[in-house]
Amino acid sequence: MDMTDSLTQLLDVLSRETELYQTMSTVMSKEKDAAIQLNLMALNEAQIEKENILVALGLLEGRRLDLVAALGNALGYSAQDMNLTKIAQLVGEPFAGRLKQAKADLSAVLESAQDANDRNRQLFEHSRDLVRGSINLLSEIGSANPIYYRTGLVQHTGASGKCVCDEI
């Protein structure tokens, strides 16, 4: 395979990765909406979509690594030394400009996906904390209230005597 074919394939892989990350960002927005609406079915569907996207991204990433390694060998560099910026510097136009644009597009989409992921993480962590607080409150209400005697012994009674009220 010549360098032109490798560069064309690399640009195609980068374009497909960008599209998949855009789709991932959209799915994460749907996931957020489903969580807010407490729509379990939509949450499950979003999870399945994300898993499918991640599988496809994994395959594309493997292909991208192979292409970068092949380009590195053709240009006299190791695969570890190669990145899109370096490849763009080493190859001529029109590929240099297209690689720089692909890098900018992919970086922007990755940042958007990371932001969506951070928002969802915060939403789910907050929801988890609220559930834990409710469980702790309910556990305390139902637990026995120990009575301490002068002898130092503790006796647990069946009733807790606790009451939840918004005023005292």
In the predicted structure, residue 163 carries a pLDDT above the cut 60:
no
Average pLDDT over residues 147-159: 60
- Angstrom CA distances, 20 to 7, 30, 31, 113, 132, stand at 20, 15, 16, 10, 35
pLDDT at 79: 83
- Could you tell me which residue, 92 or 156, shows the higher pLDDT? 92
Out of 102-106, 143-147, 156-160, pick the least confident: 156-160
- Angstrom CA distances, 110 to 23, 53, 115, stand at 11, 14, 9
pTM of the model: 0.74
Please count the helices (runs of H) and the strands (runs of E) in the chain. Answer: 4, 2
Out of 19-23, 58-62, 84-88, pick the least confident: 84-88
pLDDT at 63: 95
**Percentage of residues in the chain having pLDDT higher than 70:** 83
CB-count exposure of residue 31 (10 Å: 0-12, 13-18, 19+) = buried
When pLDDT is cut at 50, 70 and 90, the band that residue 10 belongs to is: very high
pLDDT at 60: 96
Residue with tokens 């789910």: 124
CA 127/CA 36 separation, integer angstroms: 10
Whether 145 and 159 have beta carbons less than 8 Å apart is answered as: yes
Both ends of the chain: CA-CA distance in Å? 80
Give the model confidence (pLDDT) of 115-143 as tens digits: 999 999 999 999 899 888 888 877 766 65
Q: Which domains does the chain have, with CATH numbers?
A: 3-143 (1.20.58)
Whether 18 and 98 have beta carbons less than 8 Å apart is answered as: no
In the predicted structure, residue 159 carries a pLDDT above the cut 60:
no
Across the strands, what pairs with 156? Answer: 146
Residue with tokens 């991932």: 24
pLDDT at 109: 95
In the predicted structure, residue 80 carries a pLDDT above the cut 80:
yes
